[in-house]
């Protein structure tokens, strides 16, 4: 399996989609497990087959981030601009609430503050994954 895809015409280097997916699934799963263990009463993941529900939640959040989030960002550009970017985390809150709705009783987030906290932690995790894992891999294969 190739790890890197190099386009010689544009000199762009990107990670294979499968590797990218695995990296983000690991990150989302870690954030969801830690938050559900720390805040047991407000973020609940079904304890029966806990790991499976964490993985399914991670997959749903990843898919929603790749499909619905760009549309929501585009639609809310004026609102995000008027609030100087403060509205952007609420897009992630909306994505988490969609995942909560899809999974029903297997994944529940109670309260706007907890949704906001998980959204911020996922955003921080995305930034850390990009700077500490993905960019070094790209730099290594670019040279």
Rounded mean pLDDT, 81-98: 91
Rounded mean pLDDT, 128-135: 84
pLDDT of amino acid 1: 42
In sequence order, what are the residues at sequence separation of 6 or more whose Cβ sits closer than 8 angstroms to the Cβ of residue 91? Answer: 69, 72, 73, 76
To the nearest whole percent, how much of the chain has pLDDT over 90? Answer: 36
pLDDT of amino acid 2: 46
Residue 10 scores a pLDDT above 60? no
- The range of the structural domain enclosing residue 62 comes to 4-142
Residue 126 scores a pLDDT above 60? yes
Label residues 87-98 b or e (16+ Cβ within 10 Å = b): bbbbbbbbbbee
13 or 86, greater pLDDT: 86
pLDDT of amino acid 100: 92
Rounded mean pLDDT, 95-119: 91
pLDDT in tens, 37-75: 998 888 888 888 888 999 999 999 999 988 999 999 999
Mean pLDDT of the chain, nearest integer = 85
Number of domains in the chain: 1
- What is the Cα–Cα distance from 33 to 87, expressed in whole angstroms? 26
pLDDT of amino acid 15: 66
| Structure confidence at residue 3 as a pLDDT band (50, 70, 90) | low
């Amino acid at each position: 399996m190739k790890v890197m895809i190099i386009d010689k015409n544009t000199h762009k280097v990107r990670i294979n989609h499968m590797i990218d997916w695995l990296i983000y699934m690991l990150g989302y799963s870690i954030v969801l497990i830690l938050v559900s263990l720390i805040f047991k009463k407000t973020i609940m993941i079904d304890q029966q087959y806990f790991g499976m529900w964490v993985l399914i939640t991670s997959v749903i959040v990843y898919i929603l981030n790749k499909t619905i989030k760009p549309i929501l960002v585009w639609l809310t550009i004026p609102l995000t601009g008027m609030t100087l970017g403060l509205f952007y985390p609420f897009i992630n809150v909306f994505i988490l609430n969609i995942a909560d709705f899809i999974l029903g009783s297997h994944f529940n987030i109670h309260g706007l503050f907890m949704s906001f906290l998980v959204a911020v932690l996922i955003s921080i995790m995305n930034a850390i994954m990009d700077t500490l894992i993905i960019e070094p891999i790209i730099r290594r294969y670019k040279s």
